[in-house]
Structure 1
């Protein structure tokens, strides 16, 4: 997504939440975070892909501004050695929204949406389902992009010995493949489900 499109999405999200203005410095800081050197997949490329999907599917959202901001913040904190990235990202989002004078209930909903990207439970509610489908859209990408994604994820965890990293990664992909449905929203399911399953099966086989 081009820089102006990112900025337009950011401004529209804050406007939808009723904020007096969008914090441009925060927008710049978030983009800087997504450009940190330890990142290979959780980068501006990933954020841009997510926001592009959002622009296509945002009419499905009950509160589109909240979904957009949850996407902006969902990987704002990304420490490959930590296990609380989503919690720290969600706290940052909540604090930023409250600081902008937006009602607390919106801040709590965005916090919950960011926490849903842990992928440890089936999402509930239209906004959470849309958000998670968007976050998982990479699984249904064309084979070249999916293979690039797999290389990027392995690069982020290159410090983990191969004999440990490959079985862990294979188990993660198998959990997605074992779901009754990977995508919950009808259009993304129709567009991505079959390709995601083919990508996952191919990657799992390659790591066997």
Structure 2
């Protein structure tokens, strides 16, 4: 999904959220910012963290909106949460992936301030974006909980869509050697498995069981894949011909 086939409702949705947050700029100026954000989300190196992901997160926020205090600010945070992205190897996948939440928050501050959004609202959007660095929210911060849940909702997708998600993530980090990617992904999945809850909002709790099933199955598969890779390396170091590992953990 690119700029040319972006859903028509996206731009008007951004304008509506900005106006709801108190923006004083003319609609044409707000639309220009929306177009800039759509172009950022449509960059060719994005295979998962792309425009489709943005629309998915926005729709999930809509599903959980009744639990928010300031839904338009949560929607704006969804728009900005992955606007700055770099999947290059120097951006450690196991650490934070390619999303740069702090740089994205800085962009939100600059653009929303220019659109006349009040300072407190701008700072709240930036705070919500930055909270996604660790995907942990204070359970009493309902807006932050909803944003985190909406961003993680793909973990609860039906199995076929979850497999497609894994393929997209692997494509996004295709420059990483298979072993490096598998180890990084295992690290992420183990961290998720240690959490007492993946989803903090009451409505998001319905996604807990399918997400646990998906991530547990993926972790089991990747741990098996890593053992196969390590066995092949051991065989190679002994001077024997190593077996060929699978090309993708997805």
TM-score for the superposition, normalised by structure 2: 0.78
**Separation in 2, partners of 1:163, 1:176:** 20
**Separation in 2, partners of 1:130, 1:71:** 10
**Which among 94, 115, 119 is matched to residue 130 of structure 2?**
115
Question: What secondary structure, in the 3-state scheme, does the structure 1 residue paired with 2:8 have?
Answer: helix
- Preserved CA contact (<8 Å) 1:9 1:68: no
Q: CA deviation at 1:150?
A: 1.0
Unaligned runs of 5+ in 1: none
Instruction: Name 2:101's counterpart in structure 1.
Output: 86
Instruction: Name 1:27's counterpart in structure 2.
Output: 34
Note the alpha carbon deviations across 1:85-119, whole angstroms, 9 max, x for none: 11111100011111112221111111111111112
**Separation in 2, partners of 1:203, 1:170:** 9
TM-score for the superposition, normalised by structure 1: 0.93
Instruction: Name 1:12's counterpart in structure 2.
Output: 16
Moved over 6 A (4+): none
Instruction: Name 1:167's counterpart in structure 2.
Output: 183
- Preserved CA contact (<8 Å) 2:137 2:148: no
**Separation in 1, partners of 2:12, 2:48:** 23
Q: CA deviation at 1:130?
A: 0.5
Q: Which sits farther off after the overlay, 79-88 or 163-172? A: 79-88
Note the alpha carbon deviations across 1:151-206, whole angstroms, 9 max, x for none: 1111111111111110111110121121100000111112x100000000111111
Q: CA deviation at 1:2?
A: 6.5
**Separation in 1, partners of 2:125, 2:201:** 19
Alpha carbons of structure 1 residues 2 and 58: separation in structure 2 relative to 1, 3 Å: farther
Question: What secondary structure, in the 3-state scheme, does the structure 1 residue paired with 2:167 have?
Answer: helix
Note the alpha carbon deviations across 1:109-137, whole angstroms, 9 max, x for none: 11111111112644451110000000000
Which entry has the higher C-alpha Rg, 1 or 2?
2
Unaligned runs of 5+ in 2: 224-250
Q: CA deviation at 1:7?
A: 2.4
1:188 aligns with 2:230: no
**Separation in 1, partners of 2:168, 2:138:** 26
1:6-155 equivalence runs, <5 A = 6-20=10-24, 21-22=26-27, 23-81=30-88, 82=91, 85-119=100-134, 121-123=136-138, 125-155=141-171
**Separation in 1, partners of 2:153, 2:166:** 13
Matched pairs, number: 207
